[in-house]
Structure 1
Amino acid sequence: MKERPEIRSSEGKLGVLLPGFGAVATTLVAGVEAVRRGLAAPVGSLTQMQTIRLGKRTDARTPLIKDFVDLASLDQLVFGAWDPIPDDGYASAVNAGVLDRHEHLEPIRDFLESIVPMPAAFDPEYVKKLQGSNVKSGPNKRDLAEQIRADIRTFKEEQGCERCVMVWCGSTEIFLRPGAQHETLEAFEKAMEENDPGIAPSMLYAYAAIMEGVPYANGAPNLSADFPALEKAAVERGVPIGGKDFKTGQTLMKTILAPGFKARMIGLRGWFSTNILGNRDGEVLDDPASFKTKEESKLGVLEHILQPKMYPELYEDLYHKVRINYYPPRGDNKEGWDNIDIFGWLGYPMQIKVDFLCRDSILAAPIVLDLALFLDLASRAGMGGIQEWLSFYFKSPQTTPGLYPEHDIFIQHWKLKNTLRWMMGEDQITHLGQDYE
């Protein structure tokens, strides 16, 4: 374990920059303001509601995480966003239909209307089901990235922010694989100047954030900051990065259930998953190229948790299928249905059915809040590069090249808390069970 870092003070305003100002981002922003005004509780947020056991201390205190670690408070947060649709925060939240208009939006309408998205670096070639007029223009992608950098500096100055973080809340882009243009920063910058099709808009935001010293997390499954050029740049500049794809509905359930099956040595023959979703994300994923990106993210979870090569008689023949269907009447209220074919003693078959009727953005919003606060903490601690300890929040955790990601949510949770203990000079918990006493 490395030597405990010196952590700079959290004082001053923290700018939370959100590429994509749709359902997830407006639910986050409205929720934070509702909590600040005492209108609601921050349910789902570890930073605001969870306790942490303190190592081997005899007093066995279990303070809230926000009291244990020097995190920025909710009162310090100011929000900025980019979106191709010019709607302010109130109009966008009403359109998203996640939060009750009268109970949660009208009381904070003045605040939401004050947040107007900046023109986005957007290209419909990468998100084919979305159109908008609030879009940047420039001779090439490098110029667009420089415009985003200028936006960051302007926002920081106008809002009086000490620091900023950026969390991608935009739609899922088409599936791309890293290539030669992603290997070095020089190659990446040259590719931007040449309008290389392998450079997607989210990469421009990631590049701009890293070059401006702003921590960056990717909440979607598309290639964004998870390639050598930007990973190395983040290390060299001491900028924390993480991703990818917020772990919300169906995959959240898989990372809870699969470790239980493995712990009991229960076999799996098949796991069929289907989703219906009607918000903007669902419409975007109706495009096969964007669905391919999401599919790659969702399919890798079970293999990493179950380790079929280690337990071939239990998991090697597992058939895993994922489907996502756009169904407008459902709106943001996603339904994830799973049929799980298991087998037990002497190979006798059994089945489990899971029907998770969840609210996608309600589950995602506290993730964005926690990531913003933890990334800021990592930045103040000088922890540049990939933040593997934040894998808890992602479907496809970004890891150091050459290492496999951890998907077991309980191990992820343990690692997250142990990292916080280490940062604060406390003894780490070496037995998983102790953290849940």
Structure 2
Amino acid sequence: MNNDPVAPAKGKLAVLLPGLGAVGTTVIAGVLAARKGLARPIGSLTQYARMGDDPNAPRLRDAMPLAHLDDIVFGGWDIFDEDCYTAAKNAGVLEDRHLDPIREELEAIRPMSAVFDQDYVRNLSGPNVKEGANKMELAEALIDDIESFMADNGCDRAVSVWCASTEVHVNLGPVHSSLEAFEAGLLESDPAISPTMIYAYAHIKAGVPFLNGAPNTALDTPAIIELAEREGVPIAGKDFKTGQTLIKTILAPGFAARMLGVSGWYSTNILGNRDGAVLDDPGSFKTKEQSKLSVLESILDADAYPEIYEEMDHKVRIDYYPPRGDNKEGWDNIDIFGWMDYPMQIKVNFLCRDSILAAPVVLDLALFGDLASRAGMGGVQDWLSFYFKSPQPVAGEVPVHDLFAQRDLLFDTLYALKERG
């Protein structure tokens, strides 16, 4: 991090969302409603958290040079060509009492055609999809979209947060090893280059910060990291930490702090929205499973305390259950043990609203991503780990999963930025 003053948040900020489904439309509707004083953006650190422990300390939105909600212009891409009001109605997250007062503004936001490959998301298809001679042409088309959107809407800056579906798992290969190999792969339409990777490449080339809200392999490829560092563009990911995993990263640090043993942690979810349908495919579930499984390893440290955590059995299941819709239900059975190895159990049933929990995360990431860009902080932004299931560490570092340690890292960075003026 340099010591130059952080550039002010002047003018309009384009917040671009690949994926204008349940999460994307909930974010947009919430911000539009907040502007009119019709709803509160609860859950957003940027809007409510204070800069310090003093109850009279200023809120982040006042203490830091963050973009104001009134200055945000929303856009995005989706494989379905319906406007955001229709998409929000179909998603079934928000009630008419929240959608109808902002209907005209939502109807004015229509998705640009998406880069999509059904080999990567097998349980979805839609008509609003780009075509190109190769994947490089698709990337260039996305860059054109970004530049045209900013020009048409008078935007000074842009930031992008991935809100689209979970792709099938991708193993890293030679095409991901360097920027040179990756760009050759784009020209050759290498099948190991996913749509998320194409979006990441296009945004970084356009100088736009890119935050990955899905567990898709993209920003953690050496090629994309190389490009982000070369161009000085902030990146961070992956996979929003919202429901069941949020609860894990709250509870697990407490067990570790008290030196309580954990012999097993069984998690199952039922989910009925579009995300649930996508995760019903084993390939996409494998990607999500790896993200959800990773969170306990660094918190319940078996290397440091093998006698307590080495034998822990961790299982994760997700079932597509259409009647539940966006209201996901997460069940956790936690087998713990204490003094003289006597066993105990904890059971958690979290009846959460997936998109309601994700929306403030998207807003914060967009505003913090823009802040990082104006502060000249290119490459991996590990200080944003607070928001991710699988936080991407700076090269050579170990990812931190403890929610409270992540929050300390976030605020330490904000204090350092504030010192720069």
Q: State which of 319, 328, 352 in structure 1 corresponds to 2:322.
A: 328
> 1:3, CA displacement in angstroms?
4.8
Q: State which of 72, 80, 84 in structure 1 corresponds to 2:75.
A: 80
Residue pairs, 1:34-183, within 5 angstroms: 34-53=33-52, 62-100=57-95, 102-183=96-177
Report the 3-state secondary structure (helix = DSSP H, G, I; strand = E; otherwise coil) of the residue aligned with 1:424. Answer: helix
User: Counterpart of 1:420 in structure 2: which amino acid?
Assistant: L
- 2:255·2:261 contact (CA, 8 Å) conserved in 1? yes
- CA-atom RMSD, angstroms? 1.3
> 1:195, CA displacement in angstroms?
1.3
Report the 3-state secondary structure (helix = DSSP H, G, I; strand = E; otherwise coil) of the residue aligned with 1:324. Answer: strand
Q: Which residue of 2 aligns with 1:435?
A: none
Residue pairs, 1:192-341, within 5 angstroms: 192-341=186-335
> 1:62, CA displacement in angstroms?
1.3
> 1:304, CA displacement in angstroms?
1.2
- 1:140·1:193 contact (CA, 8 Å) conserved in 2? yes
> 1:93, CA displacement in angstroms?
0.2
> 1:364, CA displacement in angstroms?
0.2
Q: Which residue of 2 aligns with 1:24?
A: 23
- 1:15·1:77 contact (CA, 8 Å) conserved in 2? yes
User: Counterpart of 1:182 in structure 2: which amino acid?
Assistant: H
> 1:178, CA displacement in angstroms?
1.4
- 1:168·1:217 contact (CA, 8 Å) conserved in 2? yes
CA distance in 1, matches of 2:363, 2:55: 28
> 1:4, CA displacement in angstroms?
3.2
User: Counterpart of 1:66 in structure 2: which amino acid?
Assistant: R
Q: Which residue of 1 aligns with 2:7?
A: 8
**How many pairs does the alignment contain?**
421
CA distance in 2, matches of 1:232, 1:344: 47
- State percent identity of aligned pairs: 61
> 1:197, CA displacement in angstroms?
1.0
User: Counterpart of 1:27 in structure 2: which amino acid?
Assistant: T
CA distance in 2, matches of 1:335, 1:327: 10
User: Counterpart of 1:414 in structure 2: which amino acid?
Assistant: D
- 1:210·1:233 contact (CA, 8 Å) conserved in 2? yes
- 1:14·1:165 contact (CA, 8 Å) conserved in 2? yes
Report the 3-state secondary structure (helix = DSSP H, G, I; strand = E; otherwise coil) of the residue aligned with 2:361. Answer: helix
Unaligned runs of 5+ in 2: none
User: Counterpart of 2:181 in structure 1: which amino acid?
Assistant: A
User: Counterpart of 1:94 in structure 2: which amino acid?
Assistant: K
Q: Which residue of 2 aligns with 1:344?
A: 338
Normalising to structure 2: TM-score of the pair? 0.98
- 2:2·2:376 contact (CA, 8 Å) conserved in 1? no
Report the 3-state secondary structure (helix = DSSP H, G, I; strand = E; otherwise coil) of the residue aligned with 2:294. Answer: helix
User: Counterpart of 1:13 in structure 2: which amino acid?
Assistant: K
CA distance in 2, matches of 1:79, 1:362: 18
> 1:76, CA displacement in angstroms?
0.3
**Would you identify which runs of 4 or more consecutive aligned residues in structure 1 move more than 4 Å?**
none
CA distance in 1, matches of 2:395, 2:230: 16
> 1:401, CA displacement in angstroms?
2.2
CA deviation vs aligned residue, 1:174-208 (integer Å, no higher than 9, x gap): 00021110111111011111111110001111000
CA distance in 2, matches of 1:3, 1:16: 25
Q: Which residue of 2 aligns with 1:189?
A: 183
CA deviation vs aligned residue, 1:247-276 (integer Å, no higher than 9, x gap): 000000000000000000000000000000
> 1:6, CA displacement in angstroms?
1.9
Unaligned runs of 5+ in 1: 427-437
- 1:4·1:424 contact (CA, 8 Å) conserved in 2? no
User: Counterpart of 1:10 in structure 2: which amino acid?
Assistant: A
> 1:5, CA displacement in angstroms?
3.7
